[in-house]
Amino acid sequence: MTKVKELTTAEEKLRALFELQRNDSKIDEIRTLRGELPIEVKELEDAVMGLGVRIDKLKEEVDKVTSFISGKNTSIKESKALIAKYKEQLNLVKNDREHTALNKEIEMQNLEVDLAKKKIGDAQKEEKSKQAYLDESQGKQDKIKADLEQKKKELDVIIEETEKEEAELHKLSEVAREKIERRLLAGYDRIRKTYRNGLAVVTFERDSCGGCFGKIPPQRQLEIKQRKKIILCEHCGRILVDPTFGDINSKALEA
């Protein structure tokens, strides 16, 4: 394993921090280019999954109602068969007691048929309602799936265009990180997390901090140009470097 050269001077440390910031800012730009697409894709995937659970449950409920209706229709057929049987037996009875008993059985089976028909009617209304909700949920899921497919295609195109560059930038950032002492690196990471644009290292421009635009006194500017120590902006705490170091490309980022 190649040993990383230890940075000894403030200028070397500042340049390493500057290079790290430039690479990290370019990575941030790539992620900004992707925008909210990864989040949108994840939300759409979750929505499709959630609707899938709902659809499966509705299908199960519709199947239960359908099975219930089928069972009641079978019961009606059985009751009608018994009614027909009892009516035939009426022609064979020899006394009033048997005649009365058969009529009661016929009456009871007719009541069973009427009750089954009522339950079938109620179940059919429930089935219609659940089926309508199921159709609505499936239509919604189909629409979300179409949106998801489109978003995935857009994201895939952006990833394909940028993943190679991002991977190279990550490697460069790792190389730069290996050169920087832990204490300084921890400070850099802390500042980056503080600001939405991720700028921890900035140049000063027109006598002002490139991060917060706070005024920098002439003596302070001179010290920054001398590169003999690491200087932080007294307004925002960012690390300040000489403008001649170059440009930190962060045009796509918000302050």
Mean pLDDT, rounded, for 127-141: 96
Which residue in 237, 252, 230 sits closest to 18, CA to CA? 230
Q: So what's the pLDDT on residue 159?
A: 84
pLDDT at 30: 85
The answer to whether 34 and 158 are in contact (CB under 8 A) is: yes
pTM over 0.75: no
Q: How confident is the model at residue 6 (pLDDT cuts 50, 70, 90)?
A: low
What percent of the chain is predicted at pLDDT more than 90?
Answer: 66
- Model pLDDT, residue 158: 84
Domain ranges of the chain: 10-33+181-245, 37-161
The reply to whether 37-161 shares the fold of 10-33+181-245 is: yes
pLDDT at position 252, please? Answer: 34
Q: Quickly state the pLDDT bin for 249 (edges 50, 70, 90).
A: very low
pLDDT of residue 248: 55
Mean pLDDT of the chain: 89
Q: In this model, does residue 212 exceed pLDDT 50?
A: yes
Mean pLDDT value across residues 14-20 = 91
Is the pLDDT reported for residue 44 higher than 90? yes
CATH of 10-33+181-245, one of 3.30.980.10, 3.40.309.10, 1.10.287.1490, 1.10.10.10: 1.10.287.1490
Is the pLDDT confidence value at 53 over 60? yes
Q: Please give the CATH number for the structural domain made up of 37-161.
A: 1.10.287.1490
Mean of the pLDDT values across residues 50-62? 96
Task: Give the mean model confidence (pLDDT) for residues 192-219.
Answer: 91
Report pLDDT digits (tens) over 153-191. Answer: 988 888 888 888 888 899 989 988 988 889 999 999 999
242 has a pLDDT exceeding 70? yes
Are the CB atoms for 173 and 189 separated by under 8 Å? no
Q: Output the pLDDT for position 2.
A: 46
SS3 letters across the chain: CCCCCCCCCHHHHHHHHHHHHHHHHHHHHHHHHHCCHHHHHHHHHHHHHHHHHHHHHHHHHHHHHHHHHHHHHHHHHHHHHHHHHHHHHHCCCCCHHHHHHHHHHHHHHHHHHHHHHHHHHHHHHHHHHHHHHHHHHHHHHHHHHHHHHHHHHHHHHHHHHHHHHHHHHHHHHHHHHHHCCHHHHHHHHHHHHHCCCCCCEEEEECCEECCCCCECCHHHHHHHHHCCCCEECCCCCCEEECHHHCCCCCCCCCC
Predicted confidence band of residue 5 (pLDDT cuts 50, 70, 90)? low
In this predicted structure, the answer to whether residue 92 has a pLDDT above a threshold of 70 is yes
